Amino acid sequence: MILSIDIGTSTCKAALFRPDGTMEDMVKVPLALVSDGNGSQEADPRMWVDALHTLCRGFEGLSRVRAIVVSGNGPTVVPVNGSPAMCGDQLCIETGFARLWLDRRAVLEAEEISRITGTFIDSSFTLPQVLHLFRTRPESYHRARWFLSSCEFINYLLTQEAKAILHASDGIRWYWTEDLLDAVGLDARKFPPFIHPGDLVGMVTDQAAHVLGLPRDVPVFAAGPDFLVSILGCAVVRPGLVCDRAGTSEGINLCTERPLGDDRLMTYRHPVAPYHNVSGIISTSGKAIEWAGRLLGVRAASYDELYTLMGESPAGCGGVLFLPYLQGERAPIWDPAAKGVFSGLSLATGKGELLRSVAEGTCLAIRDVIEVMEESGGRVESLRTTGGPSESSFLNQLKADITGRALSVPKIPEAELVGSMVIGLTALGEYASLAEAAGHLVRMGRTYEPRKEYRQLYDELFARYRETYRCVRDTWREA
Share of the chain above pLDDT 70, in %: 99
The answer to which of 182-196, 224-238, 299-313 has the lowest mean pLDDT is: 299-313
One fold for both 2-217 and 235-479? Answer: yes
pLDDT at 61: 86
Beta-carbon contacts of residue 31 (< 8 Å; ≥ 6 apart): 8, 9, 10, 11, 12, 43, 47, 48, 51
The CATH code for residues 2-217 is: 3.30.420.40
Q: Is the pLDDT of residue 300 over 70?
A: no
pLDDT tens-digit readout, 350-409: 999 999 999 999 999 999 999 999 999 999 999 999 998 999 999 999 999 999 999 999
How much is the pTM? 0.92
pLDDT at 298: 79
pLDDT tens-digit readout, 279-293: 999 999 999 999 999
- In this prediction, residues 239-250 reach a mean pLDDT of 95
Architecture of the domain whose range is 235-479: 2-Layer Sandwich (3.30)
Distance CA 73, CA 227 (A): 8
pLDDT at 328: 93
Grade residue 305 by pLDDT with cuts at 50, 70 and 90.
confident
Q: Is the pLDDT of residue 479 over 60?
A: no
pLDDT at 261: 87
Instruction: State the DSSP H helix or E strand holding residue 292, giving kind and residue range, or none if neither.
Output: helix 286-295
Whole-number mean pLDDT of the chain?
A: 95
pLDDT tens-digit readout, 169-189: 999 999 999 999 999 999 999
- In this prediction, residues 421-444 reach a mean pLDDT of 96
Chain centroid to Cα 299, Å, comes to: 24
Q: Is the pLDDT of residue 317 over 60?
A: yes
pLDDT tens-digit readout, 186-213: 999 999 999 999 999 999 999 999 999 9
Beta bridge partners of 407: 383, 448
pLDDT tens-digit readout, 35-82: 876 778 999 999 999 999 999 999 998 999 999 999 999 899 999 999
Domain boundaries of the chain, sorted by first residue: 2-217, 235-479
Grade residue 478 by pLDDT with cuts at 50, 70 and 90.
low
What is the gyration radius of the CA atoms in the chain, in angstroms? 22
pLDDT at 38: 74
Q: Is the pLDDT of residue 297 over 90?
A: no
Q: Number of C-alpha atoms within 13 angstroms, CB side, residue 191?
A: 19
Distance CA 125, CA 77 (A): 9
Q: Is the pLDDT of residue 477 over 90?
A: no
